[in-house]
Amino acid sequence: MNSPRATKVLVIGYVWPEPRSSAASGHVMQILEVFLQRGWDITFSSPAGYGEQRADLTALGIREVPIELNNSSFDTFISELAPDIVLFDQFMMEEQFGWRVEKYCPDALRMLESCDLQSLRQGRHQRLKDRLKASDDGNDFTGLFAPAMREEFEHMATTDLAKREIAAFYRCDLTLMVSEIEIDILVHQFKMPRDLLHWCPLMVDLPSTAPVPFEERAHFLHIGNFRHAPNWDAVLWLKTAIWPLIREKLPGAQLHIYGAYTPPKATALHNPAQGFHVMNWAEDALQVMSAARVCLAPLRFGAGVKGKIVDAMLTGTPNVTTPVGAEAMHGEEPWPGAVTRTAQAFADHAVQLHQDRDRWLEAQVQGLQLLANRYQQNVHGPALIARIEHCLQNLPAIRRDNFTGNMLRHHHHKSTQYMSQWIEAKNRL
């Protein structure tokens, strides 16, 4: 008797995953691991070039197949592969390849991994720019951190990015969201059906060894991919406002800043005399996090959930952040460190955590409890598989009920198909 065929999954990535460089890639790798545990047959494709730190997917048993934009070779590839599931990594991949997937594999479940709500991040970035133009006060950003959900919607709803992004969500059968806050914005403000969304936060295994003790740690740490605009802005706020306040109270304090793809504008900030060390890329983020006493994440804008803060909790490292950094990360659980709204409060709490062993230990315990209550892979992995299998079993009904998605696919896919075919023909000339 023949064994049943393994479910075939095609992942179309915006980039080849670099889990040691970004939380977004880390989340993709976590999803792939859940699929592998289920015994699914996975192919990963991307039109991007290979990055410096890309993961070796083939070592995990995942096929790697480069693909091209606006090239009918993809049609032959996906027809021969005949996947049961296609996962678009970020909405731009659905825009580019969605019509081809629908045309050549109409019965495949179409999923989207959103990473974060990019239109929300863009709207917050614009508000920060407006605030910086209006005032040179580098301390108090309370106004940025307290918008009502309706206000967030109003900043997003008029943008082309929101229209593109949310239309792609509708065109898919299921979209994975890392943030419950972003699900609420989509459901309550944009009136998107909750049935098209699934909460899938970062998924980790709990640490099996005791964290490095307080006495064996030193210095402050900030970590984040410099290609991600919120991380670069956080470094600037640290340099200009927060770090001088910390050094006033702790003259010998040292800050180590790590990040993939460090640009010259970042290395120019390196100043050992000020204790401000730009260290470039960290080969092992958990190792450098374990050596630090306090993680600093002064994010003035952003979206999604923060991989650097999950890494801090995994290593037992308390953190100081902003409401943007803490958003959607802790529910009703106490925060493992401090959440602040001004540069002065940020510096004060950072110094306290660095010096107060009892408070530091309390924050460490809170971080480990938070991981156990919200981020365990053995909880969210099975929930994701169950949701996907439910969708596979009920796909005709899901698509019938998603009339808005059907309508958007009808109009978008036709126009995208004709444009793509025109570009391909033009490229042959």
Check whether residue 383 and residue 257 sit in a common domain.
no
Q: How many helices (H) and strands (E) does the chain have?
A: 18, 13
412 CB-near residues (< 8 Å, 6+ apart): 95, 98, 99, 167, 171
Distance CA 243, CA 258 (A): 16
Contact 62/43 with Cβ under 8 angstroms? Answer: yes
The answer to whether residue 347 is domain-embedded is yes
pLDDT higher than 60, residue 2: no
List pLDDT tens digits, range 140-156: 999 888 778 899 999 99
Q: Region 229-254: what's the mean pLDDT?
A: 98
Domain end residue (candidates: 339, 356, 374): 374
The answer to whether residue 416 is domain-embedded is yes
The answer to whether residue 281 is domain-embedded is yes
State residue 414's pLDDT score.
Answer: 64
Check whether residue 190 and residue 177 sit in a common domain.
yes
Check whether residue 37 and residue 162 sit in a common domain.
yes
pTM: 0.95
Residue with tokens 């126009």: 415
Q: How many CB atoms lie within 10 A of CB 66?
A: 12
The answer to whether residue 63 is domain-embedded is yes
Check whether residue 337 and residue 384 sit in a common domain.
no
The closest of 94, 37, 60, 29 to 385, measured between CA atoms, is 37
Check whether residue 304 and residue 358 sit in a common domain.
yes
The answer to whether residue 304 is domain-embedded is yes
Query: What's 174's domain CATH number?
Result: 3.40.50.2000
Check whether residue 265 and residue 330 sit in a common domain.
yes
Count of domains forming the chain = 2
Check whether residue 82 and residue 98 sit in a common domain.
yes
The closest of 170, 176, 175, 214 to 192, measured between CA atoms, is 170
Check whether residue 323 and residue 383 sit in a common domain.
no
| Residue-range definition of the domain harbouring residue 229 | 214-374
List pLDDT tens digits, range 207-241: 999 999 999 999 999 999 999 999 999 999 999 99
The answer to whether residue 226 is domain-embedded is yes
pLDDT higher than 50, residue 1: no
pLDDT higher than 90, residue 20: no
List pLDDT tens digits, range 373-421: 999 999 999 999 999 999 999 999 999 999 999 999 988 766 666 677 7
Beta bridge partners of 271: 276
Check whether residue 225 and residue 286 sit in a common domain.
yes
368 CB-near residues (< 8 Å, 6+ apart): 206, 207, 313, 316
List pLDDT tens digits, range 343-376: 999 999 999 999 999 999 999 999 999 999 999 9
Check whether residue 47 and residue 186 sit in a common domain.
yes
Check whether residue 230 and residue 344 sit in a common domain.
yes
The answer to whether residue 136 is domain-embedded is no
